[in-house]
Structure 1
Amino acid sequence: MSFPMTTQTEANGPLDPARLSPWRQIGTPVADCRNARHALEKAGLAGWNIRKLQQSGTDITPNGVTTINNPEQVMLVRDDPATGQVRYLSSVGSGYGIRQNEEQADLLDALVAESGAESLADAGQLDGGKRTFVTMKLPQTMTVAGLDPVELYLAVFNSHDGSSSFRVMIVPFRIWCANQLGVAIRDRVSEVSIRHTRNAEIKVEEIRSKLGLMYSYAEAFEREARKMLDAELTTPEFREVVETIWPVDDNAPVRTRNNAERRRGELMRLWSSADTQQAVRGTRWAGWQAITEYVDHFQPAKDSTIRAHRVLTSGTVANRKQRAFDLLAVA
């Protein structure tokens, strides 16, 4: 890849230091670690000793107590390295392939070397360890039309609850507003997955062989972004996109309509006057960034950590970003 390089202060000012990526809000900074194993230890992801326990149920009747084993499901548990306690992870099928977090260390080190990243960036866990993540910032920074810098990250996700495969994915990240911009682009590969089966292995060569396809996704993303930045978007058109993504029935309860009005007002503020849109205002790219910024940083939540967790795990959030991208992309 060959992207123009930029720094964070070359355009419309530095990013608000209080606005962190969802990875940094939830995870642990590990850029100072000498290798992946050290990073996993620092983030509390090593020494889990994930294992299967037989599941059973107890039936109590007047005739006595009967224990019934479940041959189809097993319980996954782990050790908590901070407390030494055994913690429940999930219930999965008996054929589920356990993958200790340390098993990804060689792959992570290989990805750092292969991609040119200086080091890993952040590592952490979600939902009590059901899912884990490790990120690394790639050295390339694309600058959309010479105006808007977007960093590229490789994010490695693992699950211990059967919800998803082991995944390596490329994620664009807009510097000005700390927006996470991962979306699907037609005919482009943005991630590689390995299923959790008994015989599945994490093969460094397999992931490495597909990195080129993932970098091709980044180039396609830049082309789509450039077209969006070159295309005008009016305020009425932006409002129509918002109402398409968050439809509200005229007969909806008063509370629903009031919440919708507050959301619309915040989105219009981001679109019309937010500093983060200053250099790109009035474009389809700015419209997508305003919607993504709202979802990532302003959508109501009990606290910023819960919102960050939602950004990383919610299918609804991902679908809204994708829907907005599809509506605003230029054919």
Structure 2
Amino acid sequence: MPSFPCPERNRIMFESATTPAAHTTQVVRRLSAWETTGTTVTHAGNALQAMSAAGLTGWNIRKVTQTGMDVTPLGVTAVDNPDQVMLVRTDPRTNKTRYLSSVGKGYGVTQNEDQAAVLDTLVAESGAAGLAHVGSLDDGRRTFATMKLPTTMRIGGIDRVDLYLAVFDSHDGSTAFRVCAVPFRVACANQLGLAIATTTSSVEVRHTRNSRITVADIRAKLNLIYHYADEFEAEATRLIDTGLTTPEFREIVETVWPVDDRTAPPRTRANAERRRTTLLRLWTDASTQDRIRGTRWAGLQAVTEYLDHHAPATTPAVRAHRVLTGSTVTRRKQQAFDLLTV
């Protein structure tokens, strides 16, 4: 199963002990992936109110015995699964029971409300004004919450990048409870969840039978995440101070999306040409590039803007879901970043 796209490099994993700057780029008002898939909760007084506004309370997540029905010419036999159970929840809108996932019997069940104290502590200790977005994905199997930190970076003195903490959890056993630092470029609503080799950008707590997500666990690791912001700003400054030519940008595109035009099927070649055209337009003409055009930072933003806002998708919600959960999107952003920082 794909995991939430926090940077993988140098992630710290741990178990619970209790188990005006100069000028800015023109702001293009777009919905971020968080806004598209979740609920904006900036007016909520605390985490519990925010989760309630987003429909994440009252789920009563619980384990249910897993039984299969074997139908043979001799009749129907009920067969219990001794190794796994179903996780189900109550849909607060309908009061009906909904399936979440199948997990091992030792899986540690947590309610969404169990996150409230941790989220409120993160808000208080980080200096955030409150939670920004709360939502769920995959019919409730995954949840997220974001908060905007007071840190605002001015890359090269001109390009504003805000820093968010994004908190993810799952109810299908696919991921741990995870807190990630996510830089967010305001000019184009690009989410830059990138790994930097020398720093840690996310921490997590595994779900086990005895584990509990505690305030102390998260507080102890927060400083590791904050160091990431300093390193990210340093890397971004180097990128904005270094030029990139159009042929070099084309080479980045061909490396991130390799297609052999001599052997690829016609449909693949046509899709590749449309993608190249869109990426080149973002690189040469997009208003979001006005103050940074011709730099390696602009090359990274063109690739990220394409993935976040222009890549083909049946609906914006489908694209946003892909941005938040798709390993391919994360890998391509990271590959472009690695190529540009060489």
Query: Do they superpose with TM above 0.5?
Result: yes
Greater RCO structure (CA 8 Å; 6+ sep): 2
Report if the CA contact (8 A) 2:185-2:192 is conserved.
Answer: yes
Displacement of 1:64 after TM fit?
A: 3.0
Match of 1:304 among 304, 310, 316: 316
* Counterpart residue type for residue 31 of structure 1: T
Q: Which of 259, 265, 269 is 1:253 aligned to? A: 265
Task: Work out the CA distance in 2 between the residues paired with 1:255 and 1:180.
Answer: 30
- Equivalent positions of 1:171-186 (< 5 A) are 171-186=182-197
- TM normalised by structure 1 equals 0.95
Tell me, in whole angstroms, the C-alpha distance in 1 between the residues paired with 2:77 and 2:91.
32
Aligned partner of 1:199 in structure 2 is: 210
Q: Does 1:47 align with 2:24?
A: no
Which of 9, 24, 27 is the matching residue for 1:11? 24
Q: Which runs of 5+ in 2 are unaligned?
A: 1-19
Q: Which runs of 4+ in 1 moved over 4 A?
A: none
CA-CA distance at 1:99 after TM superposition: 0.9
Output one character per residue of 1:189-211: Cα deviation in whole Å (capped at 9) or x when no partner: 10110011111111111111111
Structure 1 alignment gaps of length 5 or more: none
Please state how far the C-alpha of 1:67 moved relative to its aligned partner.
Answer: 1.4
Contact 2:25–2:159 under 8 Å retained in 1? no
Task: Check the 8 A contact 1:6/1:149 in 2, yes or no.
Answer: no
Match status 1:99 vs 2:110:
yes
Number of positions where the alignment pairs a residue of Structure 1 with one of Structure 2: 322
Within the alignment, does 1:59 sit opposite 2:70 as a pair?
yes
Task: Output the CA distance in 2 between the equivalents of 1:203 and 1:313.
Answer: 25
1:38 aligns with 2:38: no
The letter for the 2-side match of 1:40 is M
SS of the aligned residue for 1:200 comes to coil
Sequence identity percentage: 61
Q: What secondary structure is seen at the aligned counterpart in 2 of 1:134?
A: strand
2:160 pairs with 1:159:
no
Q: Deviations over 1:208-261 (max 9, x none)?
A: 111111010110000100111111111001000100010112211111101100
Q: 1:25 aligns with which of 10, 16, 36?
A: 36
Task: For residue 171 of structure 1, give the secondary structure of its aligned residue in structure 2.
Answer: strand
Shift of 1:153: 0.3
The letter for the 1-side match of 2:244 is: L
Name which of 213, 227, 231 aligns with 1:220.
231
The match for 2:247 among 236, 239, 245 is 236
| Aligned counterparts of 2:76 and 2:289: Cα–Cα separation in 1 | 67
State the distance in 1 between where 2:142 and 2:282 align: 32
Cα deviation, residue 6, structure 1: 5.0
Aligned match of 1:84 in 80, 91, 95?
Answer: 95
AA in 1 matched with 2:276: R
Corresponding letter in the other structure for 2:28:
D
The residue that corresponds to 1:273 in the other structure is 285
Q: Which amino acid aligns with 1:49?
A: N
Alpha-carbon distance in structure 1 between the residues aligned to 2:219 and 2:307: 32
The answer for the alignment partner of 1:295 in structure 2 is 307
